[in-house]
């Protein structure tokens, strides 16, 4: 992600989960944390195997915030089986993550995995 795109998604607040307004609509929640106190909560609204809406909360470094916002914006409309295909979503093409921050992608992936686990267990 270029510096401009990182900042653009860092500053975006379009798909933030609001626990008061959204709690009944978004029943699938996946979370992930790391040892540095960074955390992501993802919320999917799923209809007929497709993510029709998605929201998130995130705390951490600018890269984590930016990739979370980018992911959420681009996962809406995707079929569930493509939701952690980051190539399909376009993160890898669009985002340039410094080497020492590659683990932020794993954190995002873990949150997506958690979401899918919730869906499968229902």
Partner 1 sequence: MQDIIKQIYLDYASTTPLAREVVSEMEAVMKGQSFGNPSSVDHLFGKQAHEAVEYARLEIASLINADADEIVWTSGATEANNLAILGLARFKKNGFKRHVISSFAEHKSVIEPCLQVKKEGFKLTLLNPNVNGSVDINELESVINEKTLLVSLMHVNNEVGSINDIKSIGNLCRKNNVFFHVDAAQGIGKLPIDIKDCNIDLMSLNAHKIYGPKGIGALFINNESVGRIEPILIGGGQERSLRPGTLATHQIAGMARAYKIAQEKMSSDQRHLMQCRELFIDTCQDISRLSVNGNSENVFPGILSVSIDGLHAESIIYGMKMVAVSKGSACNSDDDEPSHVLKAMGLSQSEINGTVRFSFGRDTDIKDVEYACSIYRDSVDHLHRLRGDKK
Regarding 17 and contact with partner 1 (CB under 8 A), the answer is yes
How far apart (Å, rounded) are the C-alpha atoms in residues 75 and 91?
Answer: 10
Would you count residue 70 as binding partner 1 (CB under 8 A)?
A: no
Judging by beta carbons within 10 Å of its beta carbon (0-12, 13-18, 19+), is residue 20 exposed, middle or buried? Answer: exposed
The reply on whether position 98 binds partner 1 by CB under 8 A is no
E-strand spans in the chain? 28-33, 39-47, 50-59
Does 44 help bind partner 1 (rule: CB under 8 A)?
Answer: no
Task: Report in angstroms how near the CB of residue 30 gets to partner 1 at its nearest.
Answer: 14
Q: How far is the CB of 19 from partner 1 (least distance, A)?
A: 6
113 part of the interface to partner 1, by CB under 8 A = no
């Amino acid at each position: 992600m270029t510096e401009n795109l990182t900042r653009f998604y860092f500053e975006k607040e379009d798909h933030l989960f609001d626990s008061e307004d959204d709690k009944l609509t978004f029943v699938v929640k996946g979370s992930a944390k790391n040892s540095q106190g960074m955390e992501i909560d993802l919320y999917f609204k799923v209809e007929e195997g497709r993510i029709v809406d998605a929201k998130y909360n995130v705390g951490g470094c600018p890269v984590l915030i930016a990739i979370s916002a980018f992911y959420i914006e681009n996962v809406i409309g995707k079929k569930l089986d493509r939701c952690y295909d980051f190539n399909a979503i376009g993160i890898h093409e669009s985002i340039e993550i410094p080497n020492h921050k590659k683990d932020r992608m794993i954190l995002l992936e873990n949150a997506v995995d958690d979401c899918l686990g919730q869906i499968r267990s229902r």
